[in-house]
Structure 1
Amino acid sequence: MVNFSENISVRPRRSLLSVPAVNVRALEKIRELDCDGVILDLEDSVAPDMKGKARDNLERLFSDGLLARRETIIRINPLSTPEGKADVRLVLSCLPDAVLLPKVEQPADINDLADLLAEADAPGRLKVWAMIETPFGVLNAASIADAAHTPDARLAAFVIGLNDLRKETRVPSLPGRTYLVPWMMQVVLAARAYGLDVIDSVSNDFRDMAVFDAECEQGRAMGFDGKMLIHPAQIEPANRHFAPDEAAVAEAREIIAAFAKPESVELNVINMNGRMIERLHVGQAERLVAMADIIAQRKAKKT
């Protein structure tokens, strides 16, 4: 069996646990958790007089090497603040996988951060993620996503923040997120148009797993790659809901095998089990298989 994960750049982002950088106990527990990634928060969850302490905690955390085997993202404070500038210095010291910029509203927000990273000769693997959580952020999602196509922009993912968006639009927190769905889909569409991953917002009541399950199912159906989490109890259901569907993976393997046959090499469309399948579906199939293989390999290492 061909291991397509070696040829396609994919990374599972089903579960991204947000951890306040000021909470030492929570930081120490990260290594025991099965989340795909961890968002180490220096912004909203850290009181103003604790920002320096939070940065010290992260510096020790990275130096101790406790974050292996999962994606690491540091959410910084706005660059317009002294805290944001200090956070960038910490990012350059720790070198996580990505830096998450809050309240992004225009391409210049991305480019300003990318310029700071470039001036510091940060490695290319250090990516930029954008929080889309304001009305201007949603309205400008496409132009912000277009920043990914400029040299050295580093933009890799959107994370939608519904709490701030609710606050600024005065849309109440209703079951089903009914009146937020059009804005969420606008962000998904912009991300997909420019090849970015896109992460669903947090579910605020971690004790209400029925609501969480419903949001995961909805987010998966809307096209999100995963969900931002606030509690370890949300990791397993997020991993389950956003994992590749077994039947879809089996069909993807069949599509790949069908187009690999000698008689199909020159064809752009084939008949597979009574269905017309186009060659453009091969890339999608390979990505799905690669994702499933990565997840399976990770599970195998734990057993």
Structure 2
Amino acid sequence: METTLRPYRSLLYIPGSKDRALEKARSLPVDAILFDLEDAVMPEAKVGARDTLTAALAEGGFGPRAKIVRVNGLDTEWGRGDVAALEGADIDAILLPKVISAADIDALAALCDVPIWAMMETPLAIFNALEIAAHPRVQGFVAGTNDLAKELNCRTRPDRLPMQMALQTILMAARAHDVIAADGVYNQFKDEAGLEAECEQGRDLGFDGKTLIHPAQLEVANRVFAPSEAEVELARRQIAAYEEVLETGQGVAVVDGKIVENLHVETARKTLAKAEAIAQPALA
């Protein structure tokens, strides 16, 4: 389980095989780096990518950014070797692809002692989302929307209507067990307006942030998934109004014509805490 309010507005995939990309990642304004040994690495380069990535991790310099490694599936010839190579590495979590059930998490948990994130990219994963989220080693979900669309044979639409049941199921399970939930990637990395619309939809659904495929997408994701100035100001006024009523013991708290209850104050405090965490120099 995640025990801090570390922001996950932006989670950028970085190929574990490319020294230049790994070096650049050290200076990017990203909340989490998804070091990729799976889809971003060709089969003939996978073994070498382990050495490249572990050397970069040993060198360090990634600052406060969450360091998450996507390994190959344990049913492939590379998966177990990936996990073994990461033993003792300075990482925050391992991201397991093609998760189907909690049994897949058990298999990885037996091989490592770091938190586990699950790629939710198959129909069975969606149906088993609650049991996967309930696993004590699971810290995060990543919606694998490209693979899921292929499995569903659904159309790609700006409103992602064919994907809504899956996205909302991922979120329901994640929220039921206090698991981080990251939205899937937006493939057209030069389409800033489309990315912003999809980030806004993911934010409004309840995702913590967006997985990204290109550094050019960072500004939009960081901005959309951060509390706005108006939201921060409203949160402060809600807390102040509620605390004043508690102190005087009279009436009910009202802000902008709306009653403020304890649940609103809890949300307001989370908003302020998230804004404060984002304001740290390395993440702002």
User: What is aligned with 1:141?
Assistant: 129
More helix by share: 1
Whole-Å Cα distance in 2 between the matches of residues 161 and 9 of structure 1? 25
Give runs of aligned pairs for residues 1-303 of structure 1, distance below 5 A: 9-117=4-112, 122=113, 126-147=114-135, 153-261=136-244, 264=246, 270-273=252-255, 274-298=257-281
Whole-Å Cα distance in 2 between the matches of residues 224 and 257 of structure 1? 28
Q: Which runs of 5+ in 2 are unaligned?
A: none
How far has the Cα of 1:154 moved from its partner?
Answer: 2.2
Amino acid at match of 2:183: D
CA contact (8 A) 2:13 2:212 kept: yes
How far has the Cα of 1:44 moved from its partner?
Answer: 1.1
Partner SS, residue 62 of structure 1? helix
Amino acid at match of 2:253: N
Percentage of identical aligned residues: 44
Whole-Å Cα distance in 2 between the matches of residues 187 and 94 of structure 1? 29
Which stretch of the first structure deviates more once superposed, 88-97 or 25-34?
88-97
Alignment length (residue pairs): 280
**Structure-1-length-normalised TM-score:** 0.86
CA contact (8 A) 1:91 1:99 kept: no
How far has the Cα of 1:259 moved from its partner?
Answer: 4.1
Whole-Å Cα distance in 1 between the matches of residues 238 and 158 of structure 2? 38
Q: CA RMSD in A?
A: 2.0
User: What is aligned with 1:3?
Assistant: none
Partner SS, residue 93 of structure 1? coil
Whole-Å Cα distance in 1 between the matches of residues 95 and 239 of structure 2? 35
How far has the Cα of 1:98 moved from its partner?
Answer: 1.0
How far has the Cα of 1:253 moved from its partner?
Answer: 2.1
User: What is aligned with 1:150?
Assistant: none
Amino acid at match of 2:200: E
How far has the Cα of 1:266 moved from its partner?
Answer: 10
How far has the Cα of 1:245 moved from its partner?
Answer: 2.3
Q: Which runs of 5+ in 1 are unaligned?
A: 1-7, 148-152
Amino acid at match of 2:277: I
**Structure-2-length-normalised TM-score:** 0.92
CA contact (8 A) 1:76 1:99 kept: yes
Whole-Å Cα distance in 1 between the matches of residues 267 and 281 of structure 2? 22
CA contact (8 A) 2:16 2:36 kept: yes
